[in-house]
Structure 1
Amino acid sequence: MATDRYGHDLYNGTAEAAAHLDRAVEHLLFFRPEVTEAVDDLLRAAPAAPVAHAFAAYLGVLGTEPTAAAAARKRFDAFAAGFDTSKCSARERLHTAAAASLLAGDLRRGSALLEELTTACPRDALALFVGHQLDFLTGDAPRLRDRIGGALSAWEDDDPHRGPLLGMYAFGLEESGHYTHARETGSAAVERNRHDVWAIHAIAHTYEMQGRFADGTAFLDARAADWSGGNFLTVHNWWHYALYALEAGRPDTALGVYDTTLHHGGSRGVAMELLDAAAMLWRFHLAGSDQTGRWEALADAWSARADPPFYAFNDVHAVMSYVGAGRVAEARRLIDGRRNWLAEPGAHMVTNHAMTADVGLPVCEALVAYAGGDHDTVMDLLWPLRRRLHEFGGSHAQRDALQQTLVEAALRSGRHDLARVLISERTALRPDSPYNRLSAARLAGSPGE
């Protein structure tokens, strides 16, 4: 029986198939688009290998693209219908069960199965990577950190793939608030491989969370050739660059990045990139900056997708775009459609049900209320959720657009006691943030303060 580079069996596979699997994992760990071709090669070389089909299923889900997920589910179901899992190893059975759970929409069960797998097989890089991404998509910061931390001791220091594991661990550390440790760990990963874009991304987050925008810009500038093209994180890391510029008081630079990278005529229109564009423009919207033309183009891109219920985090950013473009009726249609879906039998079986019901829809309603100047309603909807927003995924940096919406609503509704609490919380964490200082100044100049 063939084995992969880690010594794991590849059931129904050949040496050629194992080589394709190793190549696919290598591309996956470094976010290279070539992973898709490598998995196709793997499937052709080992059409009856369960890990090959699980790998393809993972790719279909992790991009949060409903069309890709539907195609992956069709292919996986055709394979699983004729496959007897009792013949393969426990590890491969867990991969198969995890893939099936993800394709059925149960991200948390898929995550738990992969954690069970890596407890027994901590050197399964595919399972670690996919589990880590699921922890990100579900906003589970402790598991984002500890899933990788729990496996690191099984990886020798000279293993070529220990580096990407350190990059993952760095992001988990950052999302858990361990910024110095995260930056040191991410730097160790980048020293091993300067093209480790996930590690670069983790370090960028640490600078963002500490309000060190000049340091973050300098860090990305110094490594621009390593992260700024040819990988799945290119647009997202440019988003971080634009966010630094905006927060440092250079809106023209941020818009320049937006127009050349975040969203333009040649953009792919994938959800992960569209939500970055929306999150950037929404910050301009909160500042009262008119970006009508950009909003219109972005709203058109979301509208063209016509996504079914799949991932509430994406829905919120679609509603941002509709609201920003003044197309409130479209935002309402999306919200009504999701409410109707929540009432359907069986909808509660998928992870996105709770994400949508508990967080996604209230946030969407708050965005519509904000557009209508109903800041009291924004407060009523977002204040109870301010410590629960992680439950529908994303990072602290991404979700900060919503936290800023809450600050703006508190200031504009005259609820100065709540505004003081919010601004004090933010300033204690990032005392040098221009946004926090300006918000504090606005509060100080408010009547009654």
Structure 2
Amino acid sequence: MATDRYGHDFHNGTTEAAGHLDRAVEDLLFFRPAVADAVEELLAAAPAAPVAHAFGAYLGVLGTEPADAAAARRRFDAFAAGLDTTALPPRERLHTAAAARLLAGDLRGGSALLEELTERYPRDALALFVGHQLDFLTGDALRLRDRIGGALSAWEEDDPHRGPLLGMYAFGLEECGHYTHARETGAAAVELNGRDVWAIHAVVHTYEMQGRFAEGLAYLDARTDDWSAGNFLTVHNWWHYALYALEAGRADTALDIYDAVLHHAGSRGLAMELLDAAALLWRLHLAGSDQTRRWEALADAWAARADPPFYAFNDVHAVMAYVGAGRVGQARDLIADRRRWLAEPGAGTGSNHAMTATIGLPVCEALVAHAAGDHDTVMELLWPLRRRLHEFGGSHAQRDALQRTLLEAALRSGRHDTARLLLSERTALRPDSPYNWLSRARLADALGDATRAATARARAHRLGRAGDLTTDHF
């Protein structure tokens, strides 16, 4: 029987097909677009192999593209029709069951099955990668960390694919607040593979979460050729660069990045790219920057998708775009559509039902309330969710757009005690963030404390100068 590079038997696969599988897994670990073609070649070479079909299903789900998921489900269902899963070896049985759960919309159920699989087969890199991404999509920071940490001891120090595992582990450590350990682990992964863009991304997150934007800029600048093009994380890592530029007071650079990379006439319109674009423009919107032209183009891109209910995290960013473009009616239409879906019989079987009902819709309504200047309603909707936002996925950095919306509502509604509390939390975690100090200056202004306001602004200015951009990519 054929085996993969990790020593697992490849059920219903040939030696040639195992080569395709190994190449596809490696492409996946390093976020190479070639993985799509590699999986098609794998399926052509091993049309009866359960792991091959599970791989195709995983790709269909992880991009959060409803059309891709639907196509993957049709192909997987055709394969699984009449399949006696009880006759499959245990590993293939678990992969098949996990894929079926995910295609049915049960992200957490599929995640649990992959966790069971890697307990028995800790060197199954495909299961580890997919499980890790599901932990990200469901905002489960502890599993994001521990799924990988629990498998690392099965990987020898000299294994060529231990590096990507370290990169995954670094991201889990970061989302759990272990910033020093995360940065060191991510750096070790990058030392092993300079183009490990997920590991680079993990290190970037550590700087973001500590407000150390100047070091983050320097880190990305030193590795531009390794992360800035040709991988699935290109847009997202440029988004991180743009966030650093905003902290440095360089909105012009952030907008140059937006126009060149995040959203432009040649953009593919993928959800994960559109949400990065919306999240950047929303930060500028909160700061009072008029980006109407960009918002209109972005809202058009979201509207062209006409997404069914699939992933609440995407819905929130679509509503951001509609609100930013002044199309509150479209935002309300999306909210009404999701409410109708929640009320349909059988709608509550997938993970997105709970995500939409408990987090997604209240957040969408808060964004609409923000557009109306109804900051009291924004407070009523977001305050109870501020420690629960992870339940609908994403990272701390991504969800910070919503935390900033809550802070903005507190400042604009005159809830000074609440604003002080929120700013105290933020500054304790990110003492070097100019945004935090500028916000503290605004609060001091509102309280009539001119001295404290001037001190906070001066500190923000000093911190911003520390992050002056030394390179110009655009």
* TM-score of the alignment, normalized to the shorter chain, above 0.5: yes
Residue 82 of structure 1 deviates from its aligned partner by 2.8
Kindly provide the amino acid, as one letter, of the partner of residue 414 in structure 1. Answer: G
| Secondary structure, aligned partner of 1:445 | helix
Residue 132 of structure 1 deviates from its aligned partner by 0.1
Q: How does 1:137-286 map to 2 (within 5 A)?
A: 137-286=137-286
TM superposition score normalised by structure 2: 0.94
Greater than 4 Å deviation, 4+ residue runs: none
What is the rounded CA distance, in whole Å, between the counterparts of 1:424 and 1:266 in structure 2?
42
Q: How does 1:26-425 map to 2 (within 5 A)?
A: 26-425=26-425
The number of aligned residues is 449
The one-character-per-residue Cα deviations of 1:367-419 (angstroms, maximum 9, x if unpaired) are 00000000000000000000000000000000000000000000000111111
Residue 448 of structure 1 deviates from its aligned partner by 6.6
Kindly provide the amino acid, as one letter, of the partner of residue 221 in structure 1. Answer: D
Kindly provide the amino acid, as one letter, of the partner of residue 433 in structure 1. Answer: S
Residue 447 of structure 1 deviates from its aligned partner by 4.1
Kindly provide the amino acid, as one letter, of the partner of residue 117 in structure 1. Answer: L
What is the rounded CA distance, in whole Å, between the counterparts of 1:346 and 1:131 in structure 2?
26
Kindly provide the amino acid, as one letter, of the partner of residue 144 in structure 1. Answer: L
Residue 88 of structure 1 deviates from its aligned partner by 2.1
Residue 83 of structure 1 deviates from its aligned partner by 1.7
Q: Which residue of 2 aligns with 1:432?
A: 432
Residue 17 of structure 1 deviates from its aligned partner by 0.6
What is the rounded CA distance, in whole Å, between the counterparts of 2:117 and 2:368 in structure 1?
43
| Secondary structure, aligned partner of 1:52 | helix
Kindly provide the amino acid, as one letter, of the partner of residue 251 in structure 2. Answer: P
What is the rounded CA distance, in whole Å, between the counterparts of 2:103 and 2:198 in structure 1?
25
What is the rounded CA distance, in whole Å, between the counterparts of 2:292 and 2:205 in structure 1?
29
What is the rounded CA distance, in whole Å, between the counterparts of 1:237 and 1:433 in structure 2?
19
What is the rounded CA distance, in whole Å, between the counterparts of 2:438 and 2:448 in structure 1?
18
What is the rounded CA distance, in whole Å, between the counterparts of 2:82 and 2:67 in structure 1?
24
| Secondary structure, aligned partner of 2:177 | coil
Residue 445 of structure 1 deviates from its aligned partner by 1.1
Kindly provide the amino acid, as one letter, of the partner of residue 70 in structure 2. Answer: A
The one-character-per-residue Cα deviations of 1:272-324 (angstroms, maximum 9, x if unpaired) are 00000000000000000000000000000000000000000000000000000
Residue 77 of structure 1 deviates from its aligned partner by 0.3
Q: Identity percentage over the alignment?
A: 82
What is the rounded CA distance, in whole Å, between the counterparts of 1:21 and 1:225 in structure 2?
28
Kindly provide the amino acid, as one letter, of the partner of residue 367 in structure 2. Answer: L
What is the rounded CA distance, in whole Å, between the counterparts of 2:26 and 2:86 in structure 1?
29
Residue 11 of structure 1 deviates from its aligned partner by 1.0
Structure 1: tracts of 5 or more residues without a match: none
Residue 246 of structure 1 deviates from its aligned partner by 0.5
| Secondary structure, aligned partner of 1:308 | coil
What is the rounded CA distance, in whole Å, between the counterparts of 1:439 and 1:193 in structure 2?
40
What is the rounded CA distance, in whole Å, between the counterparts of 2:200 and 2:447 in structure 1?
44
Kindly provide the amino acid, as one letter, of the partner of residue 42 in structure 1. Answer: L
Kindly provide the amino acid, as one letter, of the partner of residue 338 in structure 2. Answer: R
What is the rounded CA distance, in whole Å, between the counterparts of 2:364 and 2:329 in structure 1?
13
What is the rounded CA distance, in whole Å, between the counterparts of 1:185 and 1:387 in structure 2?
27
Residue 10 of structure 1 deviates from its aligned partner by 1.1
Q: Which residue of 1 aligns with 2:454?
A: none
Structure 2: tracts of 5 or more residues without a match: 450-474
What is the rounded CA distance, in whole Å, between the counterparts of 1:176 and 1:8 in structure 2?
32
Residue 129 of structure 1 deviates from its aligned partner by 0.1
TM superposition score normalised by structure 1: 0.99
Kindly provide the amino acid, as one letter, of the partner of residue 49 in structure 1. Answer: A
Kindly provide the amino acid, as one letter, of the partner of residue 296 in structure 2. Answer: E
Q: Which residue of 2 aligns with 1:25?
A: 25
What is the rounded CA distance, in whole Å, between the counterparts of 1:17 and 1:87 in structure 2?
21
Q: Which residue of 1 aligns with 2:11?
A: 11
What is the rounded CA distance, in whole Å, between the counterparts of 1:157 and 1:427 in structure 2?
39
What is the rounded CA distance, in whole Å, between the counterparts of 1:324 and 1:128 in structure 2?
38
What is the rounded CA distance, in whole Å, between the counterparts of 2:110 and 2:300 in structure 1?
33
What is the rounded CA distance, in whole Å, between the counterparts of 1:155 and 1:199 in structure 2?
17
Kindly provide the amino acid, as one letter, of the partner of residue 374 in structure 1. Answer: D
Kindly provide the amino acid, as one letter, of the partner of residue 75 in structure 1. Answer: R
The one-character-per-residue Cα deviations of 1:303-356 (angstroms, maximum 9, x if unpaired) are 000000000000000000000000000000000000000001111110000000
The one-character-per-residue Cα deviations of 1:122-149 (angstroms, maximum 9, x if unpaired) are 0000000000000000000000000000
What is the rounded CA distance, in whole Å, between the counterparts of 2:137 and 2:448 in structure 1?
42
RMSD, matched Cα? 0.7
